[in-house]
């Protein structure tokens, strides 16, 4: 009798365990990105996102964060690492793969974006409406931008448009490199982690980056001046994607998918946008303490840069129209969304 009771009890326990494998499933996700852990996005967006996901999954989701390309490859390979399942999640700059995401370039046009939060919310709406097809080979978690981009230059810096002539400047995207060339500089494309060495060795005279990333790459120690522009819009904007491998997401049980979903979309875009804004505040404060010269071009000089920016926009519209894309509609939608969130 005791033996029969033991067998029945064992069978019941086995049946119970078999009936709830999904609820007991634990998942480890590997997250790969290109910045050091002390940079604004890892510190104020990625790490808090990980903590929230792990807490809301009751510890069943574990996320291993690998910064600074620790798992190998170069920053331009990150998107494919997520697509191909080399890693589970990536955060990357879309401009590292020129031409791959043409529709989102509408947000990279000169003098398009404002703050990180407002422009990121606008960009999330824009991609959901216009460009999700460009990300069909991954499971997007969110899209975002940084805050206003500006010039960081060695020597006397840029005080008028003519000062751009002959400068060798790092450009993050093909749109920005076109703009820098039209402004009279020589644009050199490179991922942001390569900027410090390029500056110290004289390969470049400066870079366009937002304040947010300046501390992580020690920009204030390597240049003498920082040139910003009148108004609330930066010289340029770069776009980013936070994405998961499609099979990884599909393989999650429904309750863990919900945890990921609850931390995706606008809530995620706002988290990353806020991190950019916090990073901008920190980077600007460091520059003020450094003794470097902070230059803000007046409205008249800013308008001269905007006139060049208008030709960059016209080039892009003509290029996209030639590919059958209604580029004017994309630019109008991008502007309208930025204005909508800027007014809030």
Write out pLDDT tens, residues 78-92.
Answer: 999 999 999 999 999
Rounded to an integer, what is the distance from CA 312 to the centroid of its chain?
22
* pLDDT (average), residues 139-147: 98
What confidence score (pLDDT) does residue 330 get? Answer: 98
Q: Give the H/E segment covering residue 32.
A: strand 27-33
Distance CA 276, CA 104 (A): 19
pLDDT at 204 over 60: yes
- With contact defined as beta carbons under 8 Å apart, do 231 and 302 qualify? yes
Confidence category of residue 16, pLDDT binned at 50, 70, 90: very low
Q: Kindly report the average pLDDT of the chain as a whole number.
A: 93
Across 267-286, b (16+ Cβ under 10 Å) vs e yields: ebbbbbbbbbbbbbebbbeb
Per cent of the chain over pLDDT 70 is 93
What confidence score (pLDDT) does residue 51 get? Answer: 98
pLDDT at 297 over 70: yes
Please state whether beta strands 225-229 and 293-297 pair in parallel, antiparallel, or not at all (unpaired): parallel
Confidence category of residue 25, pLDDT binned at 50, 70, 90: confident
Confidence category of residue 12, pLDDT binned at 50, 70, 90: very low
Distance CA 255, CA 160 (A): 56
* pLDDT (average), residues 316-339: 97
Per residue in 184-194, pLDDT (tens digit) is 999 999 999 99
Residue 112 has φ and ψ, to the nearest 5°, of -100, -45
For tokens 């697509």, the residue is 83
Confidence category of residue 4, pLDDT binned at 50, 70, 90: very low
pLDDT at 262 over 70: yes
With both helix axes pointing from N to C terminus, report the angle between 47-56 and 254-262 in degrees, rounded to the nearest 10. Answer: 140
Q: For residue 97, what are its two tokens?
A: 């793969």
């Amino acid at each position: 009798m005791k033996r029969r009771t033991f067998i029945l009890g064992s069978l019941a326990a086995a049946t119970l365990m078999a009936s709830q494998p999904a609820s007991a499933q634990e998942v480890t996700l590997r997250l790969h990105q290109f910045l050091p852990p002390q940079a604004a996005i890892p510190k104020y967006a990625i790490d808090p996102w990980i903590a929230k996901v792990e807490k809301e999954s009751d510890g069943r989701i574990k996320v291993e964060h690998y910064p600074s390309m620790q798992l190998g490859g170069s920053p331009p390979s990150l998107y494919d690492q997520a697509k191909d399942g080399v890693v589970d999640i990536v955060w990357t700059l879309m401009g590292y793969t020129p031409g791959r995401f043409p529709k989102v370039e509408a947000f990279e046009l000169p003098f398009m974006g404002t703050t990180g939060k407002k422009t990121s919310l606008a960009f999330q709406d824009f991609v959901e409406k216009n460009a999700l097809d460009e990300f069909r080979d991954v499971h997007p978690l969110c899209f975002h931008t940084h805050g206003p981009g500006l010039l960081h230059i060695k020597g006397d810096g840029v005080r008028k448009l003519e000062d751009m002539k002959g400068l060798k400047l790092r450009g993050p995207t093909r749109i920005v490199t076109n703009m820098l060339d039209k402004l009279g500089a020589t644009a050199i494309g490179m991922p942001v982690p390569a900027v410090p060495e390029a500056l110290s060795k004289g390969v470049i005279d400066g870079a366009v980056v937002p304040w947010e990333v300046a501390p992580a790459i020690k920009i204030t120690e390597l240049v003498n001046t920082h040139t910003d522009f009148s108004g609330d819009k930066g010289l340029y904007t770069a776009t980013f994607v936070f994405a998961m491998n499609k099979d990884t997401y599909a393989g999650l049980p429904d309750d863990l998918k919900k945890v990921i979903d609850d931390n995706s979309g606008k809530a995620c875009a706002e988290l990353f946008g806020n991190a950019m804004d916090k990073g901008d505040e920190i980077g600007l404060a460091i520059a003020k303490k450094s003794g470097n010269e902070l230059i803000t071009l007046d409205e008249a000089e800013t308008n001269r840069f905007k006139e060049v920016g208008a030709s960059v926009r016209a080039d892009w519209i003509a290029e996209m129209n030639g590919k059958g894309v209604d580029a004017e509609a994309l630019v109008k939608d991008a502007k309208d969304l930025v204005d909508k969130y800027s007014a809030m």
